[in-house]
Amino acid sequence: MNDPNKTVTIQRTFNAPIELVWEAWTTPEHIAKWWSPKGMTTKIIEHSFTVGGKWKYIMPMPNGNEFTAEGIYTEIVELEKICSLANFRPMTEGVEIQSIFKKNGQKTEFTFHVIHPTEAYKIAQEKMGIQNGWGSVFNRLDEFLTDKK
């Protein structure tokens, strides 16, 4: 069980079958279309979708700098769960992310956890807008899924 004092949780229901949501999370060409806030693009540098495999995505920022999202997969249960140790530089480092998928007819119940090493770090991330940042990304995922159906 995740420590709620260290965990930011976002829940969404996607109006798409679980297989499509899973495919959106696990296929590099799909990830590139939604894994960034609106107005940004994502370049897939590395994507080895196996336990112990690495992933790395780069997003050019308007100021010329790059935002780098990278991690190592620690657990993959097909159509159920994807867990990674992750860094989102320059903003967030040393977190674990958990993506949980649950079939609900032709919809998918989705739960996303970001587990921080300390409660203070979680609070700092919340003040920086972690909910809005990921919320924007998941809005793009929702649009991507709607277009793919």
Quick: pLDDT tens for 116-147: 999 999 999 999 999 988 999 999 999 999 99
Domain contains 1: no
- The count of structural domains within the chain is 1
Domain contains 18: yes
User: Smallest Cα–Cα separation from 42: which of 25, 23, 21, 66?
Assistant: 66
Domain contains 118: yes
Find the domain containing 86 and state its range.
Answer: 7-148
Q: Residue 102: is it exposed, middle or buried by C-beta count within 10 angstroms (0-12/13-18/19+)?
A: middle
Domain contains 2: no
Half-sphere exposure (CA, 13 Å, Cβ side) for 146?
8
Q: Reply yes or no on whether the pLDDT at 36 is more than 90.
A: no
| CATH code of the domain covering residue 112 | 3.30.530.20
